[in-house]
Amino acid sequence: MQLFWTPASPFTRKVSITAMELGLWERIEIRPTTWPLDWGYATVPFTEGLAEANPVAQIPTLVTDDGVSLGNSTLICQYLNEQARGASGAMVIPNDDTKWAVWSLYAIADGILEAQVGMRAEQLRPDDLVSGGYLQKQRDRIERCFDAMEARADELTITDAAIPNLAQITAAIACGYQDWREWLGDFRPGRPGLAAWYETISQRPSFRDTEPDHTPEG
């Protein structure tokens, strides 16, 4: 499998952590991508092969060993979950009646990622084109979603499962992105459950090995 990737993308990090937790990381060949800083508001030259594999030209994009292109992180994680099922038995998406609670929490966490990346793209625009209203709307959304995760902090705590589920993985990535892009603000004040949980889950090797620290520019 080939994965179009950058260390800066929270959606790509979701796929990387999922693959590591499922024991599939060694089967993935990384295709590093670079992005000029105007990617957020202009069509840019794409890393070789990306737009050919996926006309949406976003990362993550996974090309399976059968040559099928999957261009969306949720879909890629579902694919990896299915690949792992036979091999290790570990799953990031449960196959029992807890499944919909996991998807429900996942959608909230993924909504934060969409808002965070939307704000990042907006801030890359020339100053006179930045919309303060748009940025505030995303900030409000992020606050609401972190509050909802705090209210459901008990669902985030890993209990009997050997590996975190996709909602837990995505929620922790949202917390980590908030820390990395400091201008987003600290998610911890008023959210003790979420803060304590993040402290623990972020120590897992899959999280430590994928911590973002730079944006590769092309």
Ligand X SMILES: N[C@@H](CCC(=O)N[C@@H](CS)C(=O)NCC(=O)O)C(=O)O
Edge-to-edge strands, sheet with 2-5: 29-32, 2-5, 61-63, 69-70
What residue ranges bind ligand X (CB under 6 A)? 9, 11, 39, 58-60, 72-74, 117
- Comparing CB distances to ligand X, the nearer of 8 and 163 is 8
Which one, 101 or 121, has the nearer CB to ligand X? Answer: 121
* CA gap 215, 91 in Å, rounded: 30
CB of 120 to ligand X, least distance (A): 8
**Closer residue to ligand X (CB): 150 or 184:** 184
Exposure on the CB side of residue 17, measured as CA atoms within 13 A: 34
**Least Cβ distance, residue 94 to ligand X (angstroms):** 20
C-beta of 106: minimal distance to ligand X in Å?
A: 11
Give the residue at shortest CB distance from ligand X: 58
DSSP 93: S
Minimum gap (Å) between residue 11 Cβ and ligand X: 4
Q: How far apart are CA 166 and CA 106, in angstroms?
A: 7
Q: Which of 61, 38, 37 is nearest to 48 (CA)?
A: 61
Residue number, 9 or 18, with CB nearest to ligand X = 9
**Which C-beta is closer to ligand X: that of 69 or that of 72?**
72
- Contact (CB, 8 A) for 92 and 103: no
DSSP letter for each residue of 18-65: HHHHHT-GGG-EEEE----TTTTTS--PPPTTHHHH-TT--S-EEE-T
Residue whose pair of structure tokens reads 């996974």 in the numeric block: 62
What does the alpha-carbon distance between residue 75 and residue 94 come to, in Å, rounded to a whole number?
15
- Residue among 118 and 193 whose Cβ is closer to ligand X: 118
CB of 157 to ligand X, least distance (A): 25
CB of 121 to ligand X, least distance (A): 7
